[in-house]
Amino acid sequence: MASQFWKPGAERPPLLTDEDDGLFVMAAQPYYSSGYMTIERQRQTLPAFKHRTPLLYLIENHATTIVIGETGSGKTTQIPQYLVEGGWSEGGRLIACTQPRRIAVQTVAARVAEEMHVTLGQEVGYSIRFEDMTTPGVTKIKYLTDGVLLREMMEDPLLVRYSVIMVDEAHERSISTDILLGLLKKVQRRRPELRLIIASATLEARSIAAFFDTSAERRSQSQAMDLVFPSRKPAILSIEGKTFTVQIFYTEEPVSDYVRDAVSTVNSIHKLEPPGDILVFMTGQDEVDETVQLIQHETENRHSDLVALPLYAGLARVDQEHAFGPIPRGKRKVIVATNIAETSLTLEGIVYVVDSGFSKQRFYNPIKDVEALITAPISRASAQQRAGRAGRVRPGKCYRLYTEDDYTNLMSAETVPEIQRSNLTSTILQLKALGIDSIMRFDWLASPAPEAMVRALETIFAIGAIDSDAKLTSPTGFQIAEIPLHPMLGKTLIASCALGCALEMVTIAAALSVQSIWVPSRGRQKELDEAKLRFAASEGDHITYLNVFEGFLQSQRSAQWCHRNLINYQALKKVEDIRSHLSKLLQRLGLAVKSCERDIKVIQKAIVAGFFANACQLKISVEQGCYKRIRDGEEVFIHPSSVLFRVSPKWIIYHANTVTERHYVREITVIESPWLMELAPHFFHHKSMEY
Q: Which parts of this chain interact with ligand ADP (CB under 6 A)?
A: 46, 69, 71-78, 107, 111, 324, 346, 348
b/e per residue, 646-658, with b = 16+ CB within 10 A? eeebebbbbbbbe
Relative to beta strand 235-238, strand 64-68 is: parallel
What residues does 306 pair with on adjacent strands?
332
Whole-number minimum distance, CB 239 to ligand ADP, in Å?
Answer: 8
Rounded to whole angstroms, the Cα distance separating 345 from 250 reads: 25
> Closer to Mg ion at the Cβ: 389 or 574?
389
86 contact, one of ligand ADP, Mg ion, none, CB 5-8 Å limit per kind: none
What one-letter code names the amino acid at 216?
Answer: A
Q: Is residue 118 within 8 Å of residue 110, measured between CB atoms?
A: no
> Closer to ligand ADP at the Cβ: 393 or 578?
393
Closest residue to Mg ion in the complex (CB): 76
> Closer to ligand ADP at the Cβ: 346 or 420?
346
Alpha-carbon 191 to chain mean position: 28
Which residues are within 8 A (CB) of 628 and not within 5 positions of it... i.e. 6 or more apart?
A: 616, 617, 619, 634, 635, 636
Q: What is the CA radius of gyration of the chain?
A: 26
- Residue 381 sits at the vertex; the CA angle it makes with 379 and 387, to the nearest 5 degrees, is 105
Cα–Cα separations (whole angstroms), residue 85 to 53, 79, 82, 581: 11, 10, 5, 35
Residues 265-294 that bind Mg ion (CB under 5 A): none
139 contact, one of ligand ADP, Mg ion, none, CB 5-8 Å limit per kind: none
The SS3 assignment for 318 reads helix
427 contact, one of Mg ion, ligand ADP, none, CB 5-8 Å limit per kind: none
Q: Which range binds Mg ion by CB under 5 A, 71-79, 425-433, 517-525, 628-636?
A: 71-79
Q: Which range binds Mg ion by CB under 5 A, 26-34, 74-82, 122-130, 505-513?
A: 74-82
> Closer to Mg ion at the Cβ: 43 or 491?
43
Whole-number minimum distance, CB 378 to ligand ADP, in Å?
Answer: 19
Question: Nearest Cα to 275, choosing from 393, 111, 140, 361?
Answer: 393
Cα–Cα separations (whole angstroms), residue 578 to 131, 366, 424, 485, 513: 9, 30, 24, 11, 8
Rounded to whole angstroms, the Cα distance separating 360 from 284 reads: 7
Residues 171-190 that bind Mg ion (CB under 5 A): none
544 contact, one of ligand ADP, Mg ion, none, CB 5-8 Å limit per kind: none
> Closer to ligand ADP at the Cβ: 72 or 310?
72
74 contact, one of Mg ion, ligand ADP, none, CB 5-8 Å limit per kind: ligand ADP
Q: Is 81 in the site for Mg ion (CB under 5 A)?
A: no
> Closer to ligand ADP at the Cβ: 74 or 147?
74
284 contact, one of Mg ion, ligand ADP, none, CB 5-8 Å limit per kind: none
Q: Which range binds Mg ion by CB under 5 A, 72-80, 109-117, 181-189, 622-630?
A: 72-80
> Closer to ligand ADP at the Cβ: 71 or 134?
71
425 contact, one of ligand ADP, Mg ion, none, CB 5-8 Å limit per kind: none
> Closer to Mg ion at the Cβ: 340 or 434?
340
DSSP string over 125-178? EEEETTEEE--TTT--EEEEEHHHHHHHHHH-TT-TTEEEEEE--GGG--HHHH
Whole-number minimum distance, CB 202 to ligand ADP, in Å?
Answer: 12
* Backbone φ and ψ of 656, nearest 5°: -140, 155
> Closer to Mg ion at the Cβ: 169 or 667?
169
Q: Which of 64, 76, 177, 338 binds Mg ion (CB under 5 A)?
A: 76
* Residue 373: CB atoms within 10 Å: 15
Q: Which range binds Mg ion by CB under 5 A, 68-76, 490-498, 538-546, 576-584?
A: 68-76
415 contact, one of ligand ADP, Mg ion, none, CB 5-8 Å limit per kind: none
Question: Nearest Cα to 188, choosing from 211, 169, 168?
Answer: 211
> Closer to ligand ADP at the Cβ: 115 or 529?
115
145 contact, one of Mg ion, ligand ADP, none, CB 5-8 Å limit per kind: none
Residues 199-258 that bind Mg ion (CB under 5 A): none
Relative to beta strand 131-133, strand 396-400 is: unpaired
Question: Nearest Cα to 391, choosing from 27, 20, 19?
Answer: 27
Query: Total residues contacting Mg ion (rule CB under 5 A)?
Result: 2
Rounded to whole angstroms, the Cα distance separating 232 from 194 reads: 11
Residues 553-592 that bind Mg ion (CB under 5 A): none
Q: Which range binds Mg ion by CB under 5 A, 75-83, 257-265, 291-299, 402-410?
A: 75-83
> Closer to ligand ADP at the Cβ: 77 or 430?
77
* Backbone φ and ψ of 390, nearest 5°: -85, -10
Site residues (CB under 5 A) for Mg ion? 75-76
